[in-house]
Amino acid sequence: MTTTLSLRVNQEAITRDVEPETLLVTFLRETLRLTGTHVGCDTAQCGACTVHLNGRAVKSCNVLAVQVAGAEITTIEGLTQPDGTMHPMQAAFRQCHGLQCGFCTPGMVMSSIDLVQHHPHGSDREIREHLEGNFCRCTGYQNIVKAVAAGAVAMGV
């Protein structure tokens, strides 16, 4: 038995039929083909699946798609401008070498934007604490912290 789900994803109105047990991450990746949101652990531990739900970072492997009916979802794909210009946080990650393999990067960027929007003047320690739920196995985090700080400045907060 399916349920009709209506919501906005990356500023576009979406209506699809979904199974009630479909996770938001599965809906985004398999139904909408927005594969920038990654599946890492399936237990809300790694942060690779982080998206914005009504302006707040959430781990989409921990949310049923039907729970977000009527909501506004932004994925990593929704950050880039139509002309291809990256969001300032994306550009900061690139400029500061805050990524290596790139698997964790979409979730890191989404969590970092949330951090900067809600705690604009975070210290390096606060940035590290906020990103505790996002795992990177490649970088050692130093360049990620630099990227978040640079992204905050570029975002003008």
Per the structure, the complete domain to which residue 95 belongs is given by 88-154
Whichever domain contains 150, its CATH number is 1.10.150.120
pLDDT tens by residue, 62-98: 999 999 999 999 999 999 999 999 999 999 999 999 9
Give the phi and the psi of residue 48 in degrees, each rounded to 5: -65, -20
pTM for the complete prediction?
0.93
| pLDDT score of 11 | 96
The answer, yes or no, to whether residue 140 has pLDDT greater than 80, is no
- Residue type for 28, please? L
Q: Is residue 82 part of a domain?
A: no
Confidence of residue 102 (pLDDT cuts 50, 70, 90): confident
- Higher pLDDT among residues 141 and 73, named by residue: 73
72, 87 in Cβ contact below 8 A?
Answer: no
Place of tokens 């907060």: 157
d(CA 125, CA 145): 9
Q: Which residue has the tokens 């805050």?
A: 98
Is residue 83 in some structural domain? no
What CATH number corresponds to the domain at position 33?
A: 3.10.20.30
* 70 within some domain: yes
